Amino acid sequence: MRHLLAVCGALLILMAVSAAADQSLPGEVEQLLATRKVLATVTFSMGSASLDDTARAAIDRAAKELSTLAKDKALVRIEGFSSPEGEANSNISIAVMRARAVEDYLRGRHQIPVEIYLSGSVDRVGAEGRDLALRRRAEIALYDNIWQVQPIPVGQTILEWQQR
């Protein structure tokens, strides 16, 4: 069920961003990406999505800033990454699990709301020369809300969709 919620949440944000991008001028996607600010980088052991004390401390520091954000001014994404060893499907899965571990900790420890969007990918682009251990990470990233995207309560949206 948790994976279904994560996938549905990711699909909802992609649909919102796609709709906004279709209505936007060329270059606004690049403008959005240029506003990216990484609040925290959490590293993981190979094949693991478990948080250690260092990871929790990094998330705790980021939570202080997240708790003061104006929700209409910034989009928060937890972006999970994996190193390129292994099969593509398992790499994507572990990347999403890493992002989810960070989200679960933020929600459980700091009561950060659900309006956080998860993503997972294999760290290939621009990673030449980067230590493989640093590729196995999750990042809490902020983006300026240039399209005025409004958070959608994922649980409520899923329930409405199931009732159709």
Question: Mean pLDDT throughout 50-60?
Answer: 97
Fold of 2-162: 60s Ribosomal Protein L30; Chain: A; (3.30.1330)
CB contact burial 11-44 (16+ within 10 A = b; e otherwise): ebbeebbeebeeeeeeeeeeebeeeeeebbbbbb
Question: For 52-70, what is the mean pLDDT?
Answer: 93
- Tell me, letter by letter, the H, E, C secondary structure of 39-106: EEEEECCCCCCCCCHHHHHHHHHHHHHHCCCCCCCEEEEEEEEECCCCCHHHHHHHHHHHHHHHHHHH
> What pLDDT score was predicted for residue 59?
96
Mean pLDDT score across all residues of the chain: 77
- Distance between CA 68 and CA 110 in Å, rounded? 12
Whether 7 has a pLDDT exceeding 50, the answer reads no
CA distances from 98 to 17, 87, 91, 156 (A): 23, 17, 11, 25
The model carries a pTM of 0.71
Q: What pLDDT shows up at residue 63?
A: 94
- Please give the pLDDT value at position 161: 55
Highest mean pLDDT among 7-16, 41-50, 65-74: 41-50
Which of 15-19, 27-31, 100-104 is modeled with the greatest confidence? Answer: 100-104
